[in-house]
Amino acid sequence: MDRRQFLEAGVAGAVGTMVTGGAARAAGRGGEGLHPAGVAASNMKLTFRPYTLELRHVFTIATSSRTTTPVVLTEIEYDGIVGYGEASMPPYLGESHETATAFLSTVDLSGFRDPFGLEEILAYVDGLAPGNPAAKASVDIALHDLVGRLMRQPWWRVWGYDRSTTPPTSFTIGIDTPEVVRQKTLEASGYKVLKVKLGRDTDRQMIETIRSVTQVPIVADANQGWTDRQQALDTILWLKDRGVAFVEQPMAKDRPDDNAWITARSPIPILGDEAVQRLPDVRRASSIYSGINIKLMKSTGLREAREMLTLARALDLKVLLGCMTETSCAISAATQIAPAVDWADLDGALLIRNDPFVGAALSDGVVRATDAPGIGLTKTPTP
């Protein structure tokens, strides 16, 4: 028996144990599709299609403005059960419909007989080419959804998280005129935290406009927009006095000394976002920032996001769980780990008008995981 055969026998044995061990539900459809010995009867099939999200409002941050976001929707089918995934690709991050479909075309899952082999499958996907984090995340999310559906359990339960500890999600207000900022703030009355995009010369006007309407806590994101560290620190001190809880990525990610200088002097946490993409970035960030922003589209999905979360905790870093403009698919995936983070910024699906899924939804200021299995979608798109 070679290593591969040994692993397959082990996995098959584990599945068989679940089927016969009083947890038949965990095998999905009462074990249908599994041979009596627990050996999978059919292969996994990955399909994908480009889709374009339409934003409710023009979205402006320090470095760009846009009204649509390209995504790719993936499906992994196994024995009649489908898991759903998504790649969201804001243009400034370098991925696109073209790059994601090119990458996904190289993914061949036919050699893997058992979707429960998440580690082996996702390591294979990651090794196919460098980069492509969102495209890789779309496979990771679909596979987690599939396996959760096979177990008939949501991942937050499998991982042992307590959903009631999910932090409230912040609602993002992009850079805009005082009239629009005032209007958006009024529309955001259902949220307990507002996230304000800063990094242009209207920073103080943005905050004053919001404070003229509401006193809810604010978090701020400069998106690398500040260029002078003393000015940045002065702004942070001013922001703290106006109830701002933390600031994301004050200066360019390739200026670690300036960002570290600010962190050392700031009375509120300074989080790395653009500077922190994947697991190896977390250790580097610990000497520069007081926290990190984890996003599934940067981390290549849930598998590595959880590794980043664990390492961040070991390094005493705060953790924000963020998102791109995404459908309820990727957002629902993120809610599976949201109970374990300090702050959540999972408003991505609330900013679009053509969400093809129904999943985790806003309730009392929190986007919380549902009881549905897998990543928690409660309605999937009609084919």
Least CB distance to Mg ion at residue 216 (A) = 19
- Is residue 114 within the footprint of Mg ion (CB under 5 A)? no
Choices 82-90, 125-133, 216-224, 310-318 (CB under 5 A): range interacting with Mg ion = 216-224
In the chain, the amino acid numbered 162 is D
- Is residue 347 within the footprint of Mg ion (CB under 5 A)? no
Q: H-helix or E-strand containing 71?
A: strand 65-78
CA angle 175, 180, 184 (to 5 degrees): 90
Choices 19-27, 30-38, 137-145, 265-273 (CB under 5 A): range interacting with Mg ion = 265-273
Q: What is the largest CA-CA distance in the chain?
A: 71
In this structure, what are the phi and psi dihedrals at residue 366, rounded to the nearest 5 degrees? -120, 130
One of 75, 273, 304, 347 touching Mg ion (CB under 5 A): 273
- Is residue 140 within the footprint of Mg ion (CB under 5 A)? no
CA dist., res. 337 & res. 130, Å (int): 25
Choices 8-16, 179-187, 248-256, 332-340 (CB under 5 A): range interacting with Mg ion = 248-256
Least CB distance to Mg ion at residue 221 (A) = 4
One of 8, 248, 281, 326 touching Mg ion (CB under 5 A): 248
Radius of gyration of the chain from Cα atoms?
Answer: 21
Least CB distance to Mg ion at residue 125 (A) = 26
One of 126, 176, 221, 304 touching Mg ion (CB under 5 A): 221
Distance of CA 130 to the CA centre of its chain: 20
In the chain, the amino acid numbered 223 is N
- Is residue 145 within the footprint of Mg ion (CB under 5 A)? no
Would you say 273 or 347 has its CB closer to Mg ion? Answer: 273
Q: For residues 165, 171, 175 and 180, what is the CA-based torsion angle, rounded to 10 degrees?
A: -160
- Is residue 86 within the footprint of Mg ion (CB under 5 A)? no
What contacts 187, CB < 8 A, 6 or more positions away? none
Q: Applying CB under 5 A, which residues contact Mg ion? A: 221, 248, 273
